[in-house]
Amino acid sequence: MFDTLEDALTDCRNRLIRAPRDRRSAMHTPVVVTGDVDARVMVLRAFECDAWRLRFHTDARAPKAHVIGADPRAALLFYDKGAKVQIRARGSAEILAAGPEVDAAWAASTNFARRCYLGEGPGASSDAPTSGLPPEFEGIEPDAEQLIPARANFALLRITLSHLDWLYLAHTGHVRAQFTRSAAEGAWEGRWVSP
């Protein structure tokens, strides 16, 4: 099934292409790890195939935004239980809070999704369980005018991949391949490794 390194790399690419487009894809919500060794599940919003770049939405006030500003290293874990495929990836992260790409992502979001950026910043303390949203927006979709202050808190997390570790779990014997590229636009170099 996966007889060549190109087969394994193509499998990585195809899974990453599908993940942001299909909410049912097991790889739609990978674990993202930042340089402070903090991990969280995030929704993959886009994959730029030619650049091997992933895009997520985030709050500009989130602690991870400050961590990435100081240390751009990021790691990701994707796992498809049904297909028995795990992809571990590493790359360089950046936070974008302004520009055409951020504006386009904001414009493509629903008002209900945008309301998340109206409330307290991620990690703000509270005396009681809270969504962090202003009370008037609990379960309510705000209109465009009410969302104006939220735009300043919206940002993108982009990760350009430089390392891939692909693992296929099979009862006949697991198969594993690793890929690296030295430059952001460079070609991938692969090798088979023992699982």
Q: What distance, in Å, lies between the first and last C-alpha atoms of the chain?
A: 17
d(CA 54, CA 17): 10
Least confident of 12-21, 103-112, 123-132, 150-159: 123-132
pLDDT digits (tens, 9 = 90+) for 37-96: 999 999 999 999 999 999 999 999 999 999 999 999 999 999 999 999 999 999 999 999
Give 3-state DSSP helix, strand, coil % of the chain, rounded to 5.
25, 30, 45
Beta strand 73-80 pairing with 189-193 = unpaired
Classify domain 5-193 at the CATH topology level: Pnp Oxidase; Chain A (2.30.110)
Can you give the residue ranges of every domain in the chain? Answer: 5-193
Q: What pLDDT, in 10s, does the model give residues 167-190?
A: 999 999 999 999 999 876 789 999
- pTM as predicted: 0.94
Please return the burial class of 94, using the count of CB atoms within 10 Å of its CB with bins 0-12, 13-18 and 19+. middle
